[in-house]
Amino acid sequence: MAQQEVKEYQKYYVPEQSIWPIIGAVALFLIAVGAGTFTVEVSKGKEGHGEWILLAGIATLIFMVTGWFRNQIHESMSGLYSEQLSRSYRQGMAWFIFSEVMFFAAFFGALFYARTIAIPWLGGASNNAMTNEVLWPGFEAVWPLLQTPGGTESTQMGWFGLPLINTLLLLTSSVTCHYAHVGLEQDKRKQLSWMLGLTIILGCIFLALQVEEYIHAYEIGLTLDSGMYGNTFFMLTGFHGMHVTLGTVILIVLWFRIQKGHFTPDNHFAFQAGSWYWHFVDVVWVMLFFFVYIL
C-alpha cells in the first residue's frame, strides 16, 4: 500500500484465509459428539469412546486457540491493526460479556422463579391449596429448600466462613486487576506485573477454596441432586467457577505476554478484554453471594 494513502486513511485489516476457524469448528464438533456420548455413558455406567472424543475435541480447541492467538499477537505486534480494528475487538468483547450475563440470567431466573413461585405453590400458596393437600401433603415451602416435596433432605451452606473469605478475595482481586490496568496505562511496568501477578494468585486461592467448599458441601449432604437448593447452588457456583478458571488462564497468558514486553499504554486490547472479563466474573460472584448464600 502506498505511503501517502496510509496518512489519509488507515486501512482496515481484513485477514487473508485462515486455517484456525475450520479447526475450531471441528473441535466444537468433537466436543459436542464426545460430551453427548460421554454423558449417556456416565449416566448409564457404560464403557465407550465418549471421553476420548471429548478429550480429542478439547485438545483440538486448545491447539486452535493457541494457534489463532499466536497469529493474532504476531499481527498485532507487527502493527497491522488500526484504531478502528481495535475498536471492533473491544465492542466484540463487550457483547460477548453481555451474552455471558444472559447465560447467568437464565440460572438466576430459575432460582428466583423457584423461590418466589414454584416452591410456594407446591406449599399451597395462591390458589394451590389442593396441590399441596393432595399431591405433596405435609410439604412446607421454606427457602433454602432443605426438604424437597419428594422427601430428599440436605443441609444449608452458611455464608459466613469460606464464602465470605472468597468474596473478599475476589473483590480484592478486582481492585488489584484495576491497579494493574492503571499501571499499564501509566507505563509503570513493575506495578502492572506485580498487581496482575497478585490478581492471578488471588484467583487461584479462590478456586482452591471453592474446591474445598464443594468437598465440604458433599460431606454435609448438599449435593447436585438434592433438589432445587442444591441444583441452583451447584449450577450457579459451578458455572461461575468455570468462568473464574477461564479468567485465570487468560490472566496468566497476559502475565507472560507482559514479561515479554507486550502491550503499550495506548494499545492493549487483550489486556483490557482480560480485565473486563475478570471484573465480570467478580460481579457475578457478588450476585451469587447475595442471592445464593445470604438471602
Residues of this chain, 39-78, that bind another protein according to CB under 8 A: 39-40, 42-44, 68
Residues of this chain, 229-288, that bind another protein according to CB under 8 A: 229-231, 235
> How many chain residues touch another protein (CB under 8 A)?
74
Q: Pick the piece of the chain touching another protein (CB under 8 A) from 38-46, 168-176, 178-186, 282-290.
A: 38-46
Query: Which C-beta is closer to another protein: that of 55 or that of 101?
Result: 101
Distance (Å, rounded) from C-alpha 110 to C-alpha 81? 43
**Crossing angle of helices 269-288/50-77, nearest 10°?**
130
Query: Which C-beta is closer to another protein: that of 104 or that of 289?
Result: 104
Residue 215 engages another protein in binding (rule: CB under 8 A): no
Among 12, 259, 266, 286, binds another protein (CB under 8 A): 12
Neighbouring CB atoms inside 10 A of 11's CB total: 12
Query: Which C-beta is closer to another protein: that of 1 or that of 215?
Result: 1
Distances (CA, A) of 196 to 17, 84, 179: 35, 27, 8
Query: Running DSSP on this structure, what letter comes out for residue 144?
Result: S
Tally the C-alpha atoms within 13 A of residue 96's C-alpha that lie toward its C-beta. Answer: 10
Distances (CA, A) of 64 to 20, 58, 97, 135, 144: 6, 10, 21, 53, 43
Query: Which C-beta is closer to another protein: that of 138 or that of 261?
Result: 138
Residues of this chain, 104-143, that bind another protein according to CB under 8 A: 105-107, 109-110, 113-114, 117-119, 121-122, 126-127, 135-136
